[in-house]
A and B are shown apart, each in its own frame.
Chain A
């Protein structure tokens, strides 16, 4: 437990510090955030052709309403927590890599749902948008991280059971 906590906190702190570095922001975080905006637009477009993505901004051409995906809204922090948890837990490198990739996918999938929902909530009612943006979605994303980590533990257990000789 102590080992887990030590590695978890060290990885968490290190990844947070790395994420904040200017070159990392410019080369990784900002393009990734732009990609999230483009992906969200691509998912919305078949149903709503008034939406436009401009870099990190998602805009509704009809109403003029726009949301900008900023640091803290791109799901990177939640992914960092999950990665720290996965790296801190004893498992083989292959299992860790699979879990990180799958976990990152699940966190970002929910994050895209979050971005799209906020885009429409903002056009409907700004108070509701603020509530979901500032208080509810961060909790749901972190709950998603916890669920993914719990599923990872169960999956690891099953892998072990499979690997055990009869």
Chain B
């Protein structure tokens, strides 16, 4: 009964949480973009110059440039390739997480939401970095792949698949399950798990 209530309420709350997320998307994406800027400009300083947030878009300037269709270093080309990345592609996880959490009516839910937001920002940062990797692979190609520290194309593809297509929906569920421990909902779930795991 509690589980059914949880799922129905989550669906009912989603229009509200998605609306709030859309209204304040740059606020939610800010920490992840800052982390992504820090991470990429530190580990891949030969590739990335920096990233900043413009509305809901992450503007990333690279160390690559283009001249007559040829990819060169920014210095040689006299221009810089910049990427525009839609942060909503990963930040919608916050709206989903908020709906799951709000539907559970937990104690100290605001604190729990803040903790969840902290973890989701880190996960979103990896999602954004994966989009950068995929975009540079498609746009820059071999000069990007031959840069020091860049993983092979196949690994970039798997990382993108995992961090962008899966984590924004899987991570909120994992966080929510972790945070409902001890609640009546968790006890219901625990009883189901005990009954189910006795069958082998």
Residues of A that sit less than 8 Å from B by CB: 16-17, 19-20, 71-72, 77, 81, 89-92, 95, 134-136, 138-139, 141-143, 146-147, 150, 152-154, 156-157, 159-161, 163
16 contacts between A and B (CB under 8 A): A19-B161, A20-B157, A20-B161, A91-B199, A91-B200, A134-B89, A134-B92, A135-B18, A135-B88, A138-B169, A142-B169, A142-B170, A143-B7, A153-B189, A154-B192, A156-B195
Q: CB distance A92 to B196 under 8 Å?
A: no
Q: CB distance B96 to A139 under 8 Å?
A: yes
Q: CB distance B92 to A141 under 8 Å?
A: no
Which residue in B158, B169, B195 is a CB contact (below 8 Å) of A160?
B195
Q: Which residues of chain B come closer than 8 Å to A90, judged between CB atoms? A: 197, 200
Provide the B70-81 mask, 1 if CB < 8 A to any CB of A, else 0: 000000000000
By DSSP majority rule, is chain B's interface helix, strand, loop, or mixed?
helix
Q: How far is the CA of A152 from the CA of B193 in the complex (A)?
A: 10
Residues of B that sit less than 8 Å from A by CB: 3, 7, 10-11, 14, 18, 88-89, 92, 95-96, 154, 157-158, 161-162, 165-166, 168-170, 173, 189, 192-193, 195-200
Q: CB distance A160 to B196 under 8 Å?
A: yes
Q: Which residues of chain B come closer than 8 Å to A157, judged between CB atoms? A: 192, 195-196, 198-199
